[in-house]
Amino acid sequence: MRFASGQAAYAVAEEVAELGAQRIMLIAGDHVRTMAEAIAEHLPVSVWHDEVVMHVPTAVAERARQKAIDSKVDALVSIGGGSATGLAKAIALTSGLPIVAVPTTYAGSEATNVWGMTESGKKTTGINLRVLPRTVVYDAALTVSLPVDMSVASGLNAMAHCIDSMWSPNSDPIDRALASEGIRAVAAGLLTIVSDPPGLPGREQTIYGAYLSAMSLCSAGSGLHHKICHVLGGMFNMPHAQTHSVMLPYVLAFNAPNAPEAECRIADALGADGAVAGLRDLYARLDAPRALRDYGVTEEQVQQAVGAIVEAAPDSNPTAVTGERISELLEAAWKGEAPS
């Protein structure tokens, strides 16, 4: 893993050479085409793949896998957000091909061993070391083009990794230390991005926090928050980062009363007297996404997710998960009511 602000092309070429790769499959969607072309100039690219779709539908993964086989590639370079990384992971899962990941959002997928694919409204995730990118090149300059609202949502996706890591099933003291620093860095980074969108310092701070967030999530595993977002994302094809942003204050308010150590750590990291109030204040300053209803889902639809969420929720969640409680939580999140 290397941090290389403004140096992606050079750093990726070095990493690919280090792997000894001669035939690269370059994965990059249209939004990042120009920056991908600048990086590709220095690589032995055999095939481009630009069909990048959020939540990695199985059919998209199958087409990309076949292309990798037909083109006899020996490594994958993904340039883009979690969707591009996720597609590279889907190919690596079946082929074992090494990935060089170049993230352009703050989703953090590039630093986890978690893969996800979606079929018929159901998102399946799994853990496999094969999908963990062999190396990651973090170039904060590649995230400057991410619009401020998307930067905020994506950064809060990283913050959600940190907050969920405080109580997810395998959470240990090291995960919680990484998560605390991740919360601090992402909060500071996002506030700087909002006041200075083209500046690099806020972008660098946020990408640093995103890396820590992914490390903590990777070790601690998915908690209730991630389970809720996976169910909603898979069932209703909801935008990933925005769904995480909306749900986070509700899950925090749900768990905080029964997770005093986490509550204290999160409050400290946010520089606030309480975790829930600290996150609320941050959301106000960032003008963060607030309500599920703003993202193309009806109130009736979100209620259909209750059963699947209860089934997926970890038994170790600090607050007992029941259908009634999840239904209330989703109702409030759909309306954008103050979390209670």
Cβ count near 180 (within 10 Å): 22
Q: Taking the complex as a whole, how short is the minimal distance between the CB of residue 19 and ligand NAD, in angstroms?
A: 22
In which order are the strands placed within the sheet that holds 75-80?
A: 2-3, 135-138, 99-103, 75-80, 24-27, 45-49
Q: Taking the complex as a whole, how short is the minimal distance between the CB of residue 123 and ligand NAD, in angstroms?
A: 7
The region of 99-107, 168-176, 190-198, 259-267 touching ligand NAD under the rule CB under 6 A is 99-107
Beta bridge partners of 47: 25
CB 223 within 8 Å of CB 247: no
Give the number of residues in contact with ligand NAD, rule: CB under 6 A.
28
Considering beta carbons, is residue 81 or 318 the nearer one to ligand NAD? 81
**Exposure string for 94-105, b = 16+ CB within 10 A, e = fewer:** ebebbbbbbbbb
The region of 100-108, 167-175, 284-292, 304-312 touching ligand NAD under the rule CB under 6 A is 100-108
Phi, psi (deg, nearest 5) at residue 288: -75, 160
CA atoms within 13 A on the CB side of 159: 37
Q: Taking the complex as a whole, how short is the minimal distance between the CB of residue 64 and ligand NAD, in angstroms?
A: 14
The region of 40-48, 91-99, 146-154, 289-297 touching ligand NAD under the rule CB under 6 A is 146-154
Distance CA 181, CA 170 (A): 19
Residues 22-41 that bind ligand NAD (CB under 6 A): 29, 31-32
State the residue number with the nearest CB to ligand NAD.
82
Distance CA 215, CA 326 (A): 28
Considering beta carbons, is residue 142 or 179 the nearer one to ligand NAD? 142
Give yes or no for residue 240 binding ligand NAD (CB under 6 A): yes
Residues near ligand NAD (CB under 6 A)? 29, 31-32, 54-55, 80-84, 86, 104-105, 107-109, 112, 114, 116, 142-143, 145-146, 150, 154, 157, 240-241
